[in-house]
Each structure stands twice: as C-alpha cells, then as structure tokens.
C-alpha cells in the first residue's frame, strides 16, 4: 500500500515537472524566437514580434524563409488575424474549397481590395508592394489608388522606400515582391503607429481594428511629385538627385537601385552603373553594331539588377528574359565554353566567364 502511494506521488511529481518544463520552454520560446535564416537586423525584431503575437510562424526545420514571396491569400490571412477579424488559427475549410475562403469571405464584407475573391489563381499570385500599400490603407478606412497609398505609407512611417535618401513614388518599388519578413515588418510598424492619417486626416480605427472601405468613395486627392518632395523634407530627408545621362533607360534602373550612370562624358558608346559612395562599377555596358555587351561581377548578387537592365532596353520580352537566364544558368554553366545561343525571334547571346565575372554579348537581327 505504501509502495502504491509512493508510486502515485512520484507520478504526480513527474507530471508537475513536465508542466513546469513546458511552461519554461514556452516562455523561453516566446522570449528568444530566433530563426537561423533571419540574419538581417531590421527583420529580427518584427519576426520575433509576429511569432509571439501568433500572427505568423516558422517552418518545422527551424527556418522562417524571410525572403520567400508572400501570395495574396497569405497576406490576407496575416491581415485578418492581425486585425482580429477571424481566429485564423482555426479556419473552417470545407472539402473542395480553397483553404483561405473564410478569410476572403470576411474581408469582402469590408471591401478590402483583393483580386482573389472569385479566382483561386489570383489568391496564389505573389503580392506586390503596390498591392500591399492599397490593402493596408483600406484596412484603415482609406480608399486610395496606388500612388496615394504609397504616400500614405510614407506619411505614417510604415515604409521608407527601397532607396536610401529617396522618398518618392519610384523609390518605393511598387512592382517588387513582398517577402515574408517585409510583410510582418509592415504590420509591426502599423502596430507601433496606432492611428494613421492620409494628408493629415486621421483614420477612424486603431492598429488592431478593421476599418475597410465598404461605402467609402475613392479619395480624389491628387498626390504630386512636389507632395512627395515636401513630405521628404518634413521628415528630414534630403532627396538625392536623379540620374540624367543620355541613356534614359539606364537612368531609371540606376535610380531604382540607388546607383549612378557614368557615360564618361561621351554619350553613345556605353556607360557604367556605379555605387555612389564608393564609385565601384557594378555593370559595364557597351554598344556595338548589332547589339550590346554587358560585363559584371557576382551574377547571383546582381541578377535582379541585370534583369531590370535588360528589360529596360526594350529589346526583350518576358519570355526572352527567361530564355536568357536559362542559357546562362543551365546551358553555359554546364561547360562554360563561350558560344552563341539563339533566343526569341531575333536575339542571340554569347556568355563568357562564370558567376564571379561574366560578359554577355547580345546580337539582334533586327537591331536598328
């Protein structure tokens, strides 16, 4: 009998120990949420906050995948959970239905500007920064177009753009993808801000409330370049001058990436895209009789810049770009022997070198 009582006591102690350990473990997890792939300083605190709040979670392998693009449905779920419209941890999904149908049904009541209300394909489409701006503004009751919404984010310090020293429409980079860490960071800033404003007019809801734009007419306020300039000055940001070289297509790309265009004072022969602070050349571009050549270092690091530069020339379709990337990464890297490869209707490219240093020689049969 004594042994039985002693055994029961031991079991109780064991259970109590497990409960205490679980409690301590949960506290430790909440206080020290770190993912091995969240290395950028700006992302660490927002990600920890998002996990603590139950708004977002990591993956079973201990990663967060901060640079993975968020699709529309995923951000809709984040926003719905953040504003406490639904308990997104317990969504009801009927057989054959899209997993986020309940989220979309809830947000439709607030007329949040989403494209996936009637299309699962759009639900799965990656979200752009421009779309996010409109969604965040609508959540707080502002029915804004893309340009107005970008101004709204700047006005409330919810974004400072993608280029240091710039606070204008172009520097926000509206077409680029929203990554997981960015999505959480937007919500974290919104949490810190509380009640937001558009052109000084306050929202009727707080950070964790859903306002929506059902019955709210489109705002007719015109946001000009001068408005962006004045806002930057108010925030103590001295706008950097835009590039004004003879290569108009290169100017836009350089402005987007915070680089400068150096045409050597001899327009018509080529240019270099350089870092403003160090004067280091990132890409060299030269014209020739049938096309152009570009030279660069570190292909993997500069791939987005290279793609944007190629697109900006007006010589490539999206399909052409995909072919060129495949030629570089698959066909050429197989043996790294320089040779010409055809792409599209009129183009050919000869890659030379490797990912560390590479030259691309482009030719076009319809070059003018």
pLDDT 10s digits, 242-255: 778 888 899 989 98
State the average pLDDT over residues 330-359: 95
Which residue from 286, 319, 271, 280 is spatially nearest to 302, judged by alpha carbons?
A: 280
> What is the number of alpha carbons within 13 Å of residue 237 lying toward its C-beta?
20
Return the pLDDT at 198: 98
Residue 211 banded pLDDT, cuts 50, 70, 90: very high
State the average pLDDT over residues 230-241: 85
Return the pLDDT at 367: 58
Return the pLDDT at 19: 38
pLDDT in tens, 257-304: 889 999 887 767 899 999 988 999 999 999 988 999 999 999 999 999
By three-state DSSP, how is residue 61 classified? Answer: coil
- Terminal CA-CA length for the chain: 101
Residue 16, pLDDT above cutoff 70: no
Strands 259-262 and 281-287: unpaired
State the average pLDDT over residues 193-207: 95
Residue 322 banded pLDDT, cuts 50, 70, 90: very high
Residue 181, pLDDT above cutoff 50: yes
Return the pLDDT at 22: 36
Distance of alpha carbon 337 from alpha carbon 96, whole angstroms: 51
Residue 78 banded pLDDT, cuts 50, 70, 90: very high
Q: Where are the domains of the chain?
A: 33-234, 248-364
Residue 6, pLDDT above cutoff 70: no
Angle between helices 180-193 and 41-52 (to 10 degrees): 70
Does the pTM surpass 0.95? The reply is no
- Average model confidence (pLDDT) for the chain? 88
Residue 154, pLDDT above cutoff 50: yes
Return the pLDDT at 239: 66
By three-state DSSP, how is residue 92 classified? Answer: coil
State the average pLDDT over residues 19-41: 56
Residue 238, pLDDT above cutoff 80: no
């Amino acid at each position: 009998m004594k042994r039985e009582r002693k055994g029961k006591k031991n079991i109780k102690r064991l259970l109590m120990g497990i409960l205490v350990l679980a409690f301590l473990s949960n506290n430790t997890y909440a206080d020290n949420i770190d993912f091995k792939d969240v290395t950028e300083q700006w992302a660490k605190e927002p990600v920890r906050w998002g996990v603590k709040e139950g708004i977002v979670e990591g993956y079973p392998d201990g990663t967060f995948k901060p640079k993975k693009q968020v699709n529309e449905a995923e951000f809709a779920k984040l926003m719905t959970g953040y504003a406490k419209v639904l308990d997104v941890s317990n969504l009801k999904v009927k057989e054959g239905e899209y997993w986020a149908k309940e989220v979309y049904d809830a947000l439709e009541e607030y007329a949040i500007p989403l494209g996936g209300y009637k299309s699962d394909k759009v639900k799965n489409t990656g979200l752009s920064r421009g779309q996010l701006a409109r969604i965040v503004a609508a959540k707080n009751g502002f029915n804004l177009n893309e340009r107005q919404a970008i101004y709204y984010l700047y006005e409330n310090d919810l974004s400072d753009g993608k280029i240091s020293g710039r606070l204008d429409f172009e520097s926000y980079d509206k077409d680029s993808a929203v990554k997981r860490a960015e999505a959480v960071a937007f919500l974290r800033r919104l949490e810190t801000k509380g009640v937001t404003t558009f052109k000084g007019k306050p929202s009727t809801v707080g950070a964790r409330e859903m306002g929506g734009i059902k019955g709210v007419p489109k705002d007719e306020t015109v946001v000009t370049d001068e408005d962006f300039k004045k806002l930057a000055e108010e925030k103590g940001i001295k706008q950097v001058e835009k590039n004004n070289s003879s290569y108009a297509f290169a100017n836009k790309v350089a402005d987007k990436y915070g680089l400068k265009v150096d045409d050597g004072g001899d327009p018509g022969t080529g240019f270099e895209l350089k870092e403003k602070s160090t004067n280091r050349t990132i890409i060299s571009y030269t014209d020739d009789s049938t096309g152009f050549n570009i030279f660069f270092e570190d292909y993997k690091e500069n791939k987005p810049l290279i793609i944007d530069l190629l697109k900006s020339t007006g010589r490539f379709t999206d399909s052409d770009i995909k072919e060129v990337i495949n030629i570089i990464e698959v066909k050429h890297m197989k043996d790294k022997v320089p040779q010409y490869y055809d792409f599209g209707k009129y183009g050919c490219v000869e890659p030379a070198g490797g990912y560390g240093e590479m030259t691309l020689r482009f030719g076009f049969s319809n070059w003018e």
